[in-house]
Amino acid sequence: MAKTTIWIGIILILIGVIGWIVTGFASWTALIPAILGIVLVICGWIGIKRPKIGVHIALVVALLGVIGTFSRVLQLGDLFAGTAEVPLAVVSSTLTFILLIAYIVAGVRSFIAARRTPKDAEAA
């Protein structure tokens, strides 16, 4: 999961930087996905040495990111209707939301699989 965390973080950094560039460097809030991505990359690095700590912290950060982007995702209907106030923010937030939800699901599945693995199999 640590490597997955790093890759999700890198993708979020790209989403944030591309969004910031596309907006003409107008608003630092376009970098919010990149900030989340940087934190996830750091957690991934920690997770390489100490998987439980790094990945648990990353999942909490991902959950906070999902909560933070949810209000923009609700504006997706406005985007398709052409009435969204900040269309790029809606797209960026939706991509971030989907990516983080997928990461949380993968993390929870990983934890469940780790719990089901017998201790004897881990020692082998």
> What per-residue confidence (pLDDT) applies to 124?
39
Q: What's the pTM value of the predicted model, to 2 decimals? A: 0.83
How many domains are contained in the chain? 1
> What per-residue confidence (pLDDT) applies to 9?
95
Q: If you search the block for the tokens 């609700």, which residue do you land on?
A: 74
Query: Which pLDDT tens digits describe the chain residue by residue (124 residues)?
Result: 889 999 999 999 999 999 899 888 888 888 999 999 999 999 999 999 987 899 999 999 999 999 998 988 787 777 777 776 777 787 888 899 999 999 999 999 988 888 887 665 444 3
Tokens of 80: 């398709």
Residue 40: domain span: 2-123
**At a CB cut-off of 8 Å and minimum separation 6, what does 54 contact?**
2, 5, 43, 44, 45, 46, 47, 48
Tokens of 70: 């949810």
Tokens of 9: 């973080």
* C-beta of residue 72 within 8 angstroms of C-beta of residue 58: no
